[in-house]
Amino acid sequence: MSAFSRFTPLVSVLPSTVPFVGPEAIERQRGLKVEARIGANENGFGPAPSVLAAMREQAGDIWKYNDPENFDLREALAAHLGVTAANIAIGGGIDELLGQIVRMVIEPKMPVVTSLGGYPTFNFHVAGFGGRLVTVPYVNDREDLSGLLDAVKRESAPLVYFANPDNPMGSWWDADRIVAFARALPETCLLVLDEAYSETGPAGSLPPIEALIGLPNVVRTRTFSKAYGLAGARVGYAISTPGTALAFDKIRNHFGMNRLATAAALAALKDQAYLAEVVGNIHAARERIASIARANQLSPLPSATNFVAIDAGRDGTHARSIVDGLMQHGVFIRMPGVAPLNRCVRVSVGPERDMARFEEALPEVLRLLD
């Protein structure tokens, strides 16, 4: 057989995989039905009625391409944030923006700093462009800012990734520490500050826009997937200096945004009253998850996100048994993928019917594991 490969050497050696196994795949593979979908960090409370109405109203125009300049959404975000439209870049969720950032900065074998066990989709993009991951362990279930900074300087890394609030642990740093970290980075290193959960964290965890907007080596990424309840619509945005934001135009798919998704994002941004209501629901559901965990002698970790990491008290094998056992009851949850974080399971917020099903199933699963 010929050894010829039509793919590049890099693509030839990469595994064909996805960073996360979706609940749909689990249903297909295991022949089980997901009854409580509380594992993918989605917002089970869904988008505002005004958002759904806007999508229905625009549905007849789906034959049209979306505005390739994303003018209306950039203007709306600029007004909401107190910046200019030139500070905003739009993408198909944070995941797409992360891929574009890595493409803009990283060439094969360049070092990229991130946390060991942090958001794996970023790592997926780094591998896809041939970068070399340099990982820093978590400390006390939080990303280690000092360790990340040391690694950047030691490796002369041109790119560092940091999520605040954090996925997968739900932890966070206060705004002043984040600003100090950003300002301490060499100007040759671009910081990706992933703020996917910015709306659900405490007020003190989110640096003011003006604190970082003047730094050309900082890109803040945000999304409509979490608090706004539009994960399936795939709308994300980046906030940076005009020069950095403009660089996205060099490589992005200019007709890649979904027209109905854009209409949904515009409507969601207008309906801040609904956002406030949902954020309250998220906070209440976090407390509900924590209460269920404690009632079963498990330890919930403090969370600033729309999920709660629960310390199951042993190791990754035990945590995996809980995940698999709950799926037998139709309850889909996940767990971090790297030790020692994988001693935990991770439960996303959702409506009361999902919380009740989790509450009912968890003690039965734990009883069988004792």
- CA dist 300 and 83 (Å) reads 37
Residue 204 has pLDDT above 60, yes or no: yes
Q: What is the pLDDT of residue 1?
A: 44
Please give the mean pLDDT across all residues of the chain: 97
Stretch 138-157: mean pLDDT: 98
Structure tokens at 241: 């200096």
Torsion of CA 114, 200, 24, 130, to 10 degrees: -20
Q: What is the pLDDT of residue 6?
A: 86
- Which residues are bridge partners to 311 per DSSP? 299, 344
Q: What is the pLDDT of residue 5?
A: 78
Q: What is the pLDDT of residue 324?
A: 97
Q: What is the pLDDT of residue 4?
A: 66
Residue 172 CA to its chain's centroid (Å): 14
Q: What is the pLDDT of residue 17?
A: 84
Residue 272 CA to its chain's centroid (Å): 21
- CA dist 38 and 34 (Å) reads 9
- CA dist 211 and 71 (Å) reads 25
The secondary structure of 135-174 as a DSSP string is: EEE-BTTB--HHHHHHHHHHHT-SEEEEESS-TTT-----
Stretch 69-73: mean pLDDT: 98
109 φψ region: left (φ > 0), alpha (ψ -120 to 50), beta (else): left
Q: pLDDT tens digit string along 355-369?
A: 999 999 999 999 999
Q: Which CATH class is domain 20-46+273-369?
A: alpha beta
Residue 52 has pLDDT above 70, yes or no: yes
Torsion of CA 219, 222, 223, 226, to 10 degrees: 140
How many angstroms separate the Cα of 76 from the Cα of each of 91, 133, 224? 15, 36, 13
Q: pLDDT tens digit string along 315-333?
A: 999 999 999 999 999 999 9
The secondary structure of 279-311 as a DSSP string is: HHHHHHHHHHHHHHHHHTT-EEPP-SSSEEEEE
Q: What is the pLDDT of residue 3?
A: 58
Residue 84 has pLDDT above 80, yes or no: yes
Q: What is the pLDDT of residue 370?
A: 84
49-270 has the same fold as 20-46+273-369: no
Buried b (16+ CB within 10 A) or exposed e, 270-292: bbeebbeebbebbeebbebbbeb
Q: Domain 49-270 falls in which CATH fold? A: Aspartate Aminotransferase; domain 2 (3.40.640)
| Domain ranges within the chain, ordered by starting residue | 20-46+273-369, 49-270
- Which residues are bridge partners to 37 per DSSP? 332
Question: Of all residues in the chain, what percent carry a pLDDT higher than 70?
Answer: 99
Residue 202 has pLDDT above 70, yes or no: yes
- Which residues are bridge partners to 159 per DSSP? 112, 190
Q: pLDDT tens digit string along 267-307?
A: 999 999 999 999 999 999 999 999 999 999 999 999 999 99
Q: What is the pLDDT of residue 43?
A: 97
Buried b (16+ CB within 10 A) or exposed e, 20-35: eeebeebeeeeeeebe
Contact 348, 231 (CB under 8 A): no
Q: pLDDT tens digit string along 110-120?
A: 999 999 999 99
pTM: 0.96
- CA dist 118 and 131 (Å) reads 16
